[in-house]
Structure 1
Amino acid sequence: MTQFPNLSRRGFLTRTAAVGGAVAVPGLITACSKTDTGGDGEGSRLDQLKEQGYVKVAYANEAPYGYEENGELKGEAPTLHREIFKALGVAELRPTFSEWDGLIPGLQAGKYDVISAGMAIIPERCEKALFSEPEFISPTAMMVKAGNPKKITDLASAKEAGATIGVMSGAVEKGYATAAGISEGDIKTLQKPQDGADAVKGGRIDAFLLTGISLNWLAKNNSGLEVTDSFVPEVDGVKQYSPGGAVFRKGSEDLRDAFNRELKKITSDPDRYVQLVGEYGFGKDTIPPADLRTAELCKA
């Protein structure tokens, strides 16, 4: 059985919007004023969603997870959620923008039914809301100069090559690097993703360490660089998967469970998964392992 860490952060960086596939945004939907608890249970709530023909979802405008561009809602989470709710008989996602810190409070207040934002599954959030099973994991990778002159493939090879590694300020990647035995003097802190790309281009660092999802997205706008194959780092023998999923209100177990049944059909079919969200930088390496379960991730 795989061991899982208690993850401590949302999602690695603030992302900028870019191109991708779409769900129409008919304006930003204003919040409803009363909490909808689902009446006799979320089975009846799903019936209500089917009857009204739409489900209200929230996003935080962070690409490639969930963002708005040119009047369309795009990204990994809305794309998967649209597919799942269509299978459940709900044809449309109606989006509401929220600042990140307001997503769960807005859900609790009944402003929307689901958070579609690639939110990391951590115990502190599980106390306040219901998470689906993981939609993705975020394996780590490194951005290097084209041709990968130091032949870096993972943290062990970076250490062996004496490489200087860049990490985001306040992010978990520094801990991954130190756990792999890379010295503090060979780790440089950067403030934003583009700083990391620029530092690699300028030769100030040999590699920029971040999630493969985020680096592949960054590479689209930075020539002369490449991203290594993703890998899963370990800290004290525990694999660091960094999974995320959809979020529902407490009391919505039946709706969440119906969602999970359709989600499993997608994550169990790698070709279908990549067809749906590959354009956002998600691939077979981001499909959650079958034994990675939310119940374990939610344990404090």
Structure 2
Amino acid sequence: MERMIKIFLSMGLVVVGLTAPAYTGDLADRVASGKTIRLGFASEPPQAYPGEGNKPLGYVNAIAEGVLRSMGYTNIEPVVTDWGGLIPGLQAGRLDLITGGMYINKKRCDNITFSEPVSKETDVFMVKTGNPEQITTYKDLVTKSATMVTGAGYAGIEIAKKLGVPASQIMEVPGGTEILAAVIAGRAAAGVTSYTVVQDIAKKSGGKVEATNPALMPEESSAWIGIGFRNSDKDFVAKFNTELKRYLGTPEMMKAAAEDGYDEKALPGDTTTEWVCAHR
């Protein structure tokens, strides 16, 4: 177990405290005054994670930075925090936009403004290789009285409860590294997070874990990822969305995101944020 954690730490997957000062003005005013655009993200590979000097890596960061550059903004300051600090940091004015595997859903839409979707995802189970406890659906968790583990604030918590998994069988941890640790140690029969995250972790786990079949997951597990902004920055978001529509799916964008596993199947299609906010 310690070896697995050391592997992740050696890859730069270290959470840094959010210490950026608060700012109460609109993002457009901040940019016009020459200040940086503070891009907040947690270490959630392959969607977002820090490189050397906290360089924003991951396919959602690549898309966000590509759109901002197309808008003429290059003065971007990365701020790494834990998952639970992203939305509070945005609302408190310590961040200007947040990325990573942030699923668009009604609860979040009530608190922040999302860009149009940048990717479509599906949650799956992370299980020990060979799936010894045969967990492939939420129903399996219920019938086997098995514990699942997922990230604090992840969408899978509400889906699990909706499908009958008792709260006593749901373990919440900070993020992917801790989900992996709980599954390997046997503290949980299965971890719940997005398919691309599980695939990425599985590749780095030395064959210890694998992803279950996403086709067996409920329709509610299909999700769309967006980039989050403060509600006061809707004008900026509208301009961001205009450029996002032009940029999404271009050869330039696909090349930038391909390094972290993004391909044509990950494109969000015609689904709008308005629809997702109403139906998720």
TM-score of the pair, normalised by structure 1: 0.63
Give the distance between the partners of 1:196 and 1:145, measured in 2 at CA: 7
CA displacement at 1:50 relative to structure 2: 6.5
Query: What is the percent sequence identity of the aligned residues?
Result: 23
CA displacement at 1:211 relative to structure 2: 2.5
CA displacement at 1:19 relative to structure 2: 5.5
- 1:109-136 CA distances to partner (integer Å, 9 max, x unpaired)? 3323211233221222222221111122
Change (3 A) 1:28 1:70: farther
Structure 2 unaligned spans of 5+: 1-7, 141-145, 174-178
More helix by share: 2
Q: Residue 277 of structure 1 corresponds to which residue in structure 2?
A: 257
- 1:34-71 CA distances to partner (integer Å, 9 max, x unpaired)? 41125xxx4xx4xx636738422112233333332331
Name the SS for the 1:138 alignment partner: strand
CA displacement at 1:254 relative to structure 2: 1.9
Change (3 A) 1:168 1:282: farther
Q: Verify the 8 A CA contact 2:54 2:80 in the aligned structure 1.
A: no
5 Å-filtered alignment, 1:128-147, equals 128-141=111-124
- 1:69-104 CA distances to partner (integer Å, 9 max, x unpaired)? 331322233211111111000113212233433323
CA displacement at 1:241 relative to structure 2: 1.7
Q: Residue 244 of structure 1 corresponds to which residue in structure 2?
A: 225
Q: Residue 93 of structure 2 corresponds to which residue in structure 1?
A: 110
Q: Residue 255 of structure 1 corresponds to which residue in structure 2?
A: 236
Q: Residue 5 of structure 2 corresponds to which residue in structure 1?
A: none
Change (3 A) 1:195 1:262: same
CA displacement at 1:216 relative to structure 2: 1.3
Structure 1 unaligned spans of 5+: 1-15, 21-26, 160-164
Give the distance between the partners of 1:67 and 1:294, measured in 2 at CA: 24
Kindly name which structure, 1 or 2, has the bigger radius of gyration based on alpha carbons: 1
CA displacement at 1:245 relative to structure 2: 1.3
RMSD, matched Cα = 4.4
Give the distance between the partners of 1:217 and 1:295, measured in 2 at CA: 30
Name the SS for the 1:56 alignment partner: strand
Q: Residue 57 of structure 1 corresponds to which residue in structure 2?
A: 39
**1:31 equivalenced with 2:14 (yes/no):** no
